[in-house]
Amino acid sequence: MPDSVTPPDAYPVSERNKVRRLHERGRYDKESVHAILDAAMVCHIAYVIDGQPYCTPTAFWREGEHLYWHGSSASRMLRSQKGGVPVCLTVTHLDSLVLARCGFNHSVDYRSAMCFGTARVVDDPAAKSRALDAMIDRFYPGRNAELRPSTAQELKATTVIGMEIEQASGKIRSKGVADEEEDYALPIYATRFPVTQVIGAAEPCPRMPEGVPFPEGLAGFTPGRRLDELMLESYRTTYGKE
Amino acid sequence: MPDSVTPPDAYPVSERNKVRRLHERGRYDKESVHAILDAAMVCHIAYVIDGQPYCTPTAFWREGEHLYWHGSSASRMLRSQKGGVPVCLTVTHLDSLVLARCGFNHSVDYRSAMCFGTARVVDDPAAKSRALDAMIDRFYPGRNAELRPSTAQELKATTVIGMEIEQASGKIRSKGVADEEEDYALPIYATRFPVTQVIGAAEPCPRMPEGVPFPEGLAGFTPGRRLDELMLESYRTTYGKE
């Protein structure tokens, strides 16, 4: 558990979330951690069943200090978490490949966040329905109001899981090539290749009736747009800047 | 443990790696799983320390039925794994956003692979040195021969972890929009947005001496190139097609 006084805008630091390796890259302030989370659609969640770790990718979203994700009620991960189980939810954005002058200094620029908490099923039907609506709008602003409403059967077939962020840490590397001082003079090609995740042009469903307009809420979904910027923009449109 | 006869080109299926949710998306043949792994640079690894799950992103690579990753000898993850511990290594490629006519059918197209095994430190100095060279060449063909050789201190400061793939499963969704038959006639905009991870133009280190040429092995690293295609190409250049 936290072993020191924590400012209200930061996560408590303990053995669990302390960034050990290259600790100058560590971030514990909520603003930095939230910015990494809110720029993502997909996370990876670690959980344990009978001593065996599992790592499952899933879409997720944040509301304040809570994180939510969902899935079929049949999925192993969600069934195992009904009682409330410890999880670690991690988001990673790969920002560049870093090719240095020796193997040891090869690296990548990245932003990652690890969040620790206890995952629990959102059982209350109203809370569950509201959460699923929020999930759609968080990714695609205003979209939920345009959709065919969910049926009771669809709601029943979906499990929503939530957790409060008990502790978290962010880790950021953004310095590109960094070599040993004596290596810079060597005749070795060293470079950074930026990496981005982008969307392409919409591929509309061919079975739409004629004349269905492109939704206003998707105005930002233009070809070549960075997914991290788009997700952060969608988040702030739906939840406000905080 | 595996409960049925497994063909040599497939992973044994048991409770641990059986794809339960939407099982028609599951793949257990090695060719499918390897193709997902070899198109990636970064994975997420789940492991357990004192009952607490952790999910750590890291670069990794495959050699036959073994997976390798590395890091500073100081890192918590690697220290905890010295004795040989169960891990789950997961790779995820996000291929599209799928916006359907109801919330329930919103989805993403993706390719993911989960690999189960026992992680162990590669202690033998020669094996460790060879593995680190292979890691560089796997991402950047031929690059290792162009670099300043690693020092004994650098090797000492790096831990290499390896695991044999005991079991694995792949999961692929690639069908774009799929709605309930009665929903297609609704005046709701439905679309797929392709998602790709791409590299940008090289940003050469400004401290290179004049006249250092762009390496031949990086000929495929052109602006706009998909990282998954590039990684698969690099893999096959270095290790062969198999």
Q: Does residue A202 sit at the B interface (CB-CB below 8 Å)?
A: yes
Residue A197 has pLDDT above 80, yes or no: yes
**Chain B stretch 211-230, residues whose beta carbon is closer than 8 A to a beta carbon of chain A:** 211-215, 218, 221, 227
Q: What is the pLDDT of residue B102?
A: 98
Cα–Cα distance for residue pair B91/B172, rounded to 1 Å: 12
CA-closest candidate to residue B77, choices A73, A196, A57, A53: A53
- Coil, strand or helix: which one is A163? strand
Q: Tens digits of per-residue pLDDT, A144-188?
A: 999 999 999 999 999 999 999 999 999 999 999 999 999 999 999
Q: What is the pLDDT of residue B1?
A: 44
Q: Is B22 left (phi over 0), alpha (psi -120 to 50) or beta?
A: left
Residue A212 has pLDDT above 80, yes or no: yes
Provide the pairing of β-strand A85-99 with A107-121.
antiparallel
Chain B: residue whose CA lies nearest to A200:
B194
Token look-up 């090869």 returns A106
Token look-up 């189960």 returns B116
pLDDT tier for residue A74 given thresholds of 50, 70 and 90: low
Q: What is the DSSP string of A26-80?
A: EE-BHHHHHHHHHT-SEEEEEEEETTEEEEEEEEEEEETTEEEEEEETT-HHHHH
Q: Tens digits of per-residue pLDDT, A104-128?
A: 999 999 999 999 999 999 989 999 9
Q: Which residues of A touch B222 (CB under 8 A)?
A: none
Q: Which tops the pLDDT comparison, A75 or A202?
A: A202
A158 and B52 in contact by Cβ < 8 A? no
- Coil, strand or helix: which one is A165? coil
Q: Which residues of B touch A156 (CB under 8 A)?
A: none
- Coil, strand or helix: which one is B78? helix
B102 and A146 in contact by Cβ < 8 A? no
Residue A1 has pLDDT above 50, yes or no: no
How many other C-beta atoms can be found within 10 angstroms of the C-beta atom of residue B72?
14
Q: Is A219 left (phi over 0), alpha (psi -120 to 50) or beta?
A: alpha
Task: Domains for chain B: give ranges and CATH numbers.
Answer: 23-195 (2.30.110.10)
Q: Are B217 and B140 in contact (CB under 8 A)?
A: yes
> Which residue type, as a one-letter code, is found at position A122?
V
- Coil, strand or helix: which one is B234? helix
A196 and B197 in contact by Cβ < 8 A? yes
Q: Tens digits of per-residue pLDDT, A84-110?
A: 899 999 999 999 999 999 999 999 999
- Taking each helix axis as running N to C, give the angle between helix A125-139 and helix A227-239, from 0 to 180 degrees, rounded to the nearest 10: 130
Q: What is the pLDDT of residue B3?
A: 47
CA-closest candidate to residue A111, choices A197, A180, A39: A39
Residue A189: C-alpha distances to residues A115, A193, B133, B221 (Å): 38, 12, 17, 14
- Coil, strand or helix: which one is A95? strand
Nearest to B203 among A45, A53, A191 (CB): A191
Within 8 A by CB and 6+ apart from B213, the residues are: A189
Q: What is the pLDDT of residue A223?
A: 98
Locate all alpha helices (DSSP H) within B6-158, ordered by sequence: 30-38, 76-80, 125-139, 152-156
Mean pLDDT rounded to a whole number for chain A: 92
How long is chain B? 242
B53 and A87 in contact by Cβ < 8 A? yes
- Taking each helix axis as running N to C, give the angle between helix A30-38 and helix A227-239, from 0 to 180 degrees, rounded to the nearest 10: 110
- Coil, strand or helix: which one is A235? helix
Element (H, E) at B131: helix B125-139
B212 and A189 in contact by Cβ < 8 A? yes
pLDDT tens for chain B, 242 residues long, are: 444 578 889 999 988 888 876 767 888 999 999 999 999 999 999 999 889 999 999 999 999 999 999 876 667 667 776 678 999 999 999 999 999 999 999 999 999 999 999 999 998 999 999 999 999 999 999 999 999 999 999 999 999 999 999 999 999 999 999 999 999 999 999 999 999 999 999 999 999 999 999 999 999 999 999 999 999 999 999 998 65
Q: What is the pLDDT of residue B184?
A: 98
Q: What is the ipTM of this complex?
A: 0.94
Q: What is the pLDDT of residue A8?
A: 82
Q: Tens digits of per-residue pLDDT, A10-30?
A: 999 988 888 876 767 888 999
CA-closest candidate to residue B99, choices B195, B207, B10, B163: B195
